[in-house]
Amino acid sequence: MRKPILLLTVLFTTLLSAQTVTDSIMLDPQKQINAAQRLLSGNYASAVTIGAYGEMLYNQPEGDNGELDVQRLVVLLGYRFNDQVQFVTEIEFEHVEEVFVEQAFVNYNVGSNVNLRGGLMLVPMGIINEFHEPTTFNGTERPGMDNVIVPTTWRELGVGVSGRFNALSLGYQAYIFNGFKSSEADGEGGVFGFLKGSNGLRSGRQKGIKSTIDSPTFSTKFDYYGIPGLRLGLAGYFGNTQAEADVKDIEGAIIGISMIGLDARYAYKRFTARGQFVHASLSNTEAYNNLTSRDLGSVLQGWYVEGAYNLLPMNKKQKLFVFTRYEKYDTHAATAGSLEKNNAFDRTDITTGLTYHIAPGVVLKGDYQFRTNALENGDVKNRLNFGIGVWF
């Protein structure tokens, strides 16, 4: 028994020592890469690459007990078959009780500007969905609108193409995916709906788990890098939701989705800023709500702006950012038919705090959130948050 354990230990140590250490505190948004891009970068001596990122958080709502949680631990694995073909996967453990595959795709580099991809991939919408490693964003928790509007972490099975035209300072992605699951038979002669007003499309993510598909969806994103320190993104997602075969022909079982996203990131010396806007228009929601007794809105919309400043001198390896983010998001920005708008779903969060990068790949976070909604006398508790994040 000792020999296999010893061999595995030697192999693991060899793989780690063969990898080139990279600085995950990359402030220039034009050069910032996410975990999958790091594995694909080829900046490793070994064909096999391994890494991880994780978050351990403490949340203290005002007047309630606090909660301690190993929110997520994600193991990153990659393999380079040759200079053109690579495989990337992320295996996620959530709350020490659930296991998911967050990504698993093959990347085929067919030219200097073209990569073909197939498998389970992130939908390119907004910032956080693709850049959700804890050292890449301020705030202990991800922005609220990225949980209920985008919704992070949004990944589906599909195929597509990506690349970058350096002469135009333009990056592009285009994919055909399966879509959100909207409904299935409830076993009692009715139809169960996954989509609802409180969190929009979030509960419809299929995550590659025995995903059903009736009609594919189209996703695309363009990133512009032509201005120093600035990165601009324009994303779109279009198609219909998916329903189980035994209910898909029922009126209201399927809805249409048209989602547009704009995002910007900027860095200059010790100052960084970012902003995001996402608008999703949903069709056939009146029939869907009548069929499923849900309260899905016909328009989901959210935006935020954030500014941060590094309090330490630029020549220091450590970074200490003070930041403030203002975000507003509404999963009932509009409703169809007789469904009344629920003002509790019209939310505003102001988050301010500190992000301390004590070493490349290790971050300590602390912030306070002022949270409100548009409901008269709405009871939304402010929250104090602390966290530890790692990424290697």
Does 376 or 201 have the greater pLDDT score?
Answer: 201
Tell me: pLDDT of 122 over 90: yes
Tell me: pLDDT of 174 over 90: yes
Backbone angles phi, psi at 202, to 5 degrees: -55, -45
Tell me: pLDDT of 14 over 50: no
Adjacent-strand bridge partners of 145 = none
Query: What pLDDT digit, counting tens, does each position of 313-363 carry?
Result: 999 999 999 999 999 999 999 999 999 999 999 999 999 999 999 998 999
What does the alpha-carbon distance between residue 47 and residue 55 come to, in Å, rounded to a whole number? 28
Average pLDDT over residues 44-61: 92
Tell me: pLDDT of 17 over 50: no
Tell me: pLDDT of 60 over 90: yes
Q: What is the CA radius of gyration of the chain?
A: 22
* pLDDT category of residue 99 using cuts at 50, 70 and 90: very high
Question: Six-digit token pair at 119?
Answer: 């498998």
Average pLDDT over residues 6-33: 56
Tell me: pLDDT of 9 over 80: no
- Give residue 2's pLDDT: 52
**Domains in the chain: how many in total?**
1
Contacts of 273 (CB under 8 A, 6+ apart): 264, 265, 266, 267, 305, 306, 307, 308
Contacts of 259 (CB under 8 A, 6+ apart): 125, 235, 236, 237, 238, 278, 279, 280, 281
Cis peptide bond prior to 22, omega within 30° of 0: no
Domain coverage including residue 269: 2-391
Global pTM reads 0.91
* pLDDT category of residue 123 using cuts at 50, 70 and 90: very high
Tell me: pLDDT of 39 over 90: no
- Give residue 25's pLDDT: 59
Does 302 or 20 have the greater pLDDT score?
Answer: 302
- Which 8-state DSSP code applies to residue 196? B
Average pLDDT over residues 276-284: 98
What does the alpha-carbon distance between residue 366 and residue 355 come to, in Å, rounded to a whole number? 7
**CATH assignment of the domain containing 146:** 2.40.160.10
What does the alpha-carbon distance between residue 31 and residue 225 come to, in Å, rounded to a whole number? 10
In a 13 Å sphere around the CA of 68, the CA atoms on its Cβ side amount to 1
Contact status, residue 25 vs residue 316, Cβ threshold 8 Å: no
- Give residue 86's pLDDT: 96
* pLDDT category of residue 30 using cuts at 50, 70 and 90: confident
Average pLDDT over residues 134-147: 96
Q: Beta strand pairing status for 67-80 and 271-283? A: unpaired
- Give residue 87's pLDDT: 97
Tell me: pLDDT of 8 over 60: no
H or E element: which one contains 100?
Answer: strand 98-111
